Structure 1
């Protein structure tokens, strides 16, 4: 389902696994595995319009042509640290993609994203970028990441998350209406601390087993 730049990946398998992830009793191992599985499934929808070209192929029967994509022109950008979980699933599908990292942390008092790390492949202006972060909550981290990436003028930018909410969507689309959002769920809203409800909790802690 697509609504005004927001693509909801509502395949039954994706929704089933999101429900399993929501359970507070899910172990670190199972939660990490589910993030990876859902991310791989979402990659098929996210990359539906990726550029392709034809190449000659020799089958066991005859010569023909086949369609391939150029993974080296694709960059997955992980917002650290929780974005690593989605990154692993995406790379399972497109192992030839390049990878960039943006380190951001949220100031607990003013909820502003602060950058502490930035490393990207070269020639970003020739590449399509997919930014990955498990949650689009306040939207401040996503906007900060895309602001930074936009300085390099990539061919295109997409944003992928497992869950979002109306507040996060409004923040990101307000700052970057040209960036489509891909998500598996749009939850009710934010609590007073800026966490999504009903949400998944702190995804970084759940992936890495920290508190």
Structure 2
């Protein structure tokens, strides 16, 4: 992947995203839609994975069949909302190694505060996909990528549901080598640092909290 920002315009992605934006959508339905949309986004963010072949025998003949090459990739959830994307991606990539970075946003400074970090080993040999539904100010995402790079990762992609222009710019400035895949580039951030039109707080919508 070379483009810094990829917006997935697939009709199913856009339809499901519209349902998620609707404030009348229930927690249960929101959670199910997030899982479904993560399947579709996973398809895009894993494009270009290295491949090799191995000999297998079909019912008709022996063939050299394409299979994934190299170490198992790593998925890193930026807590807590990242877990919604993580669950859907693990449906498709069950053998992936999984890590977690816990960050919360100080509501006054909008700066990220770390409270947890547990990552898989040997990240230098793995593709690492960091997941968080919202790329808003970009501060938390940049901090999470900082931590992942400190653990040795060099091949990193960032997957989100929504992105604000401010967050994309912040990520490009701090980590120009990390491509971003998203379902939508929204208009802007409001004065509270929320994406507009957005869908509210993804964690609250997913877990039914306020």
* TM-score bracket for this pair, using the shorter chain length: over 0.9
Q: Unaligned regions of 5+ residues in structure 1, if any?
A: none
**Using the alignment, how far apart are the partners of 1:154 and 1:188 within structure 2?**
31
The Cα of 1:196 is off from its aligned counterpart by 0.3
Counterpart contact for 2:80–2:102, Cα < 8 Å: yes
Indicate the residue corresponding to 1:154 in structure 2.
Answer: 153
Aligned partner of 1:59 in structure 2 is 58
Distance in 2 (CA, whole Å) between partners of 1:112 and 1:140 is 6
Do residues 103 (structure 1) and 134 (structure 2) align?
Answer: no
Q: Which stretch shows the higher mean deviation, 70-79 or 95-104?
A: 70-79
Question: For residues 89 and 4 of structure 1, what CA distance do their matches in structure 2 show?
Answer: 24
In the alignment, which residue of structure 1 is the partner of 2:139? 140
Alignment correspondent of 2:196 = 197
**Counterpart of 2:182?**
183
Shift of 1:3: 9.4
Which aligned runs of 4 or more in structure 1 are off by greater than 2 angstroms? 70-73
What is the deviation of 1:109?
Answer: 1.1
Q: Residue in 2 aligned with 1:47?
A: 46
Distance in 2 of aligned mates of 1:168 and 1:152: 23
Q: 1:73 Cα deviation (Å)?
A: 2.2
- Consecutive unaligned residues of structure 2, counting only runs of 5 or more, are none
Backbone CA RMSD of aligned residues: 1.4
Question: Distance between the aligned counterparts of 1:91 and 1:29, measured in 2?
Answer: 19
* CA apart distance, 1:52: 1.4
Corresponding residue of 1:164:
163
Find out whether 1:21 has 2:11 as its counterpart. Answer: no
- Cα distance in 2 for residues equivalent to 1:185 and 1:40: 16
Paired residues, what number? Answer: 210
Aligned partners of 2:41 and 2:23: how far apart in 1? 23
What's the CA shift for 1:100? 0.4
Deviations 1:105-130 (A, max 9, x none): 01111111011000011111111100
For the residue of structure 2 that corresponds to 1:121, the secondary structure is coil
